[in-house]
Amino acid sequence: MNREQTEFAELQQKLMNRLDTSRELKDEEICEQIDRLLMEKSSGHYYSLKRRAQLRTELFNAVRKLDILQELVDNDQVTEIMVNGLDGIFIEEKGHIRKWEKGFQNREKIEDLVQSIAAKSNRIVNATVPIVDARLENGARVSMVLPPIALNGPIITVRQFPVHPIEMEQLIAWGAVTEEAVHFLEKLVKAGYNIFISGGTGSGKTTFLNALSNYIPKDERIITIEDNAELQIRGVDNLVRLEARKGNTQGDHEITIRDLIKASLRMRPDRVIVGEVRGEETIDMIQAMNNGHDGSLSTGHGNSPRDMLARLETMILMGMELPVSAVRRQIASGLDIMVHLGRMRDRSRKVLEILEITGYSYEKEEILTHTLYEFEESRKGGEKVEGTLVKKGELEQTRKLERAGLM
């Protein structure tokens, strides 16, 4: 540790010795003790006003908030925080990942922070249950892994979401999607097409789903279902938000995505939005789409639209024993449109393909698809990706557009 780190560690230890941890302390009480401590320390050591304010903030964060991570959580430009034990802290800022100049002084500090985050989310994490997902007060998603699973010490990954959700106009300005494609998707959402958004980790699926949901008619009843609440649906008054719950250490009282989808169908929804499907709940989502809840939306991890269709098949078979042909018919009947997103070599996020599901071939026993838009690079090989989403075909299934009077 350098001199400043040693000094801070000493101040923090003195502060902890002064605080009455046998009761719940108010923020004002902690700040008062910090001020007294700094006043005493400054009698034999000069602090500039800037350094004094910095120490006050850091000491308060160490006791009440997220220690050194609070500075990053308060930074709107930081979208991802990755703590790799004592090996360092990495952040994603404005689409680029770099190593942060600060770090934790010892492993115990990271473990204390993990326990604090878990406790505030009513979660348990220890050597027996070493993996846990939680949520911060600002809605950020946290994934934590402890030894012995994590070999290089406690791992914390924080995914932050913008205070003001990104809208389609911003995505158009960034070159993530074309204005033509957005107007096309807007009509599909209003007409009640069932849309599935696929892409890799960090490709912007949740961001795009949030932006797309702005086109849902404001007089409809929407139910969102998520593993960890991330969606930011705005402008809809009749909105119900449901979040899954993990079981206790004995596995009791768990509420799964499947449970929530089944419960939502008894709540008279116009549309059901499932934040992300990862397993056997896929069959319930597809059945909801097939049971008259037109305009439903969801996302999933896939390398391409066709790869995502294959993954949907696999996930359905995890929850129900059906012939593959029957599974494919269910998917073809339930889904209308797939939007695939990707993260490019220059770290930009783009819509790579919009695919229509046109039906099912009984002869070939396969789902029929039709590419509507596809991203094409105008200059390949450069460091910066340049290109646009090119229209490849016309929508074949227009019945919903006709019924909505949007043709």
199, 205 in Cβ contact below 8 A? yes
The amino acid sitting at 229 is A
| Domain housing 380 | 168-403
Residues 115 and 261 in one domain: no
pLDDT digits (tens, 9 = 90+) for 37-77: 777 776 666 677 777 787 788 777 777 778 889 989 989 88
Q: How many domains is the chain built from?
A: 3
Residues 364 and 280 in one domain: yes
Residues 274 and 324 in one domain: yes
Q: Would you state the structure tokens that stand for residue 202, as one six-digit string?
A: 């960090």
Which H or E run includes 284?
Answer: helix 282-290
Residues 150 and 220 in one domain: no
β-bridge partners, 337: 195, 356
Residues 122 and 220 in one domain: no
pLDDT digits (tens, 9 = 90+) for 356-396: 999 999 999 999 999 999 999 988 777 889 899 999 999 99
pLDDT digits (tens, 9 = 90+) for 251-276: 677 899 999 999 999 999 999 999 99
Residues 37 and 115 in one domain: no
User: How confident is the model at residue 5, as a pLDDT?
Assistant: 65
Residues 312 and 175 in one domain: yes
The amino acid sitting at 44 is G
Q: Where are the beta strands (DSSP E) in 4-145?
A: 78-84, 89-93, 96-99, 131-135, 141-145
The CATH number given to whatever domain includes residue 175 is: 3.40.50.300
The CATH number given to whatever domain includes residue 96 is: 3.30.450.370
Residues 118 and 172 in one domain: no
Residues 228 and 123 in one domain: no
pLDDT digits (tens, 9 = 90+) for 100-140: 998 888 898 899 899 989 888 878 888 888 999 888 888 88
Give the domain-ending residue among 38, 64, 90: 64
Residues 365 and 272 in one domain: yes
Sign of the alpha-carbon torsion through 254, 255, 258, 262: positive
> DSSP state, 292?
T
Residues 57 and 83 in one domain: no
- CA 33 – CA 63 distance, rounded (Å): 11
Euclidean distance between the first and final Cα of the chain, in Å? 67
269, 221 in Cβ contact below 8 A? yes
Give the domain-ending residue among 111, 143, 160: 160
Residue with tokens 């009282």: 253
Residues 175 and 320 in one domain: yes
> DSSP state, 177?
S
Tell me the CA distances in angstroms from 126 to 111, 112, 141, 253, one per residue in order: 10, 11, 19, 19
